[in-house]
Amino acid sequence: MKVKLLLIGFIILGLLFSLFQIFSDSSAEFTEKEAQDVAVKLYGGKVLDYAEQNGNYQMTLENDRGVYYLVVDGKTKKVNTIKLIEKKEELDLAGDKVVGTSEISGDGDDGDGGMSIREEKREAIYEKKAKEIALQQARGIITNVVKVTTQKGDHYKVTIDSMQEVAHVYVQSDTGKVSSVSSIPKKQTDDEDDDDDDHDDDD
CA–CA separation, 45 and 60 (whole Å) = 11
Q: What CA–CA distances, in Å, run from 48 to 40, 63, 66, 70, 191?
A: 11, 10, 12, 12, 65
- Phi, psi at 14, each rounded to 5°: -60, -45
Cite the beta strand spans of the chain per DSSP E.
Answer: 46-53, 56-63, 66-72, 79-87, 90-93, 96-99, 141-150, 153-161, 165-172, 178-185
* CB of 64 closer than 8 Å to CB of 45: yes
* CB of 74 closer than 8 Å to CB of 84: no
In this predicted model, what pLDDT tens digit does every residue of 8-54 receive, in sequence order?
A: 877 887 777 776 665 554 444 678 888 889 889 888 888 888 888 88
Q: What CA–CA distances, in Å, run from 200 to 97, 149, 189?
A: 54, 38, 17
CA–CA separation, 157 and 182 (whole Å) = 11
Q: Is the pLDDT of residue 190 over 60?
A: no
Amino acid at 45: G
* 95 φψ region: left (φ > 0), alpha (ψ -120 to 50), beta (else): left
Please give the mean pLDDT across all residues of the chain: 74
* CB of 143 closer than 8 Å to CB of 160: yes
State residue 96's pLDDT score: 47
Q: Is the pLDDT of residue 89 over 80?
A: no
In this predicted model, what pLDDT tens digit does every residue of 108-136 receive, in sequence order?
A: 444 444 556 666 666 776 888 888 888 88
In this predicted model, what pLDDT tens digit does every residue of 59-81 receive, in sequence order?
A: 898 888 888 888 998 888 888 88
State residue 179's pLDDT score: 87
**186 in helix, strand or coil?**
helix
Whole-prediction pTM: 0.37
172 vs 98 pLDDT, higher one: 172
Alpha carbon 164 to its chain centroid, in Å, reads 40
State residue 157's pLDDT score: 92
Q: Which residue, 126, 79, 70, 118, is CA-closest to 98?
A: 126
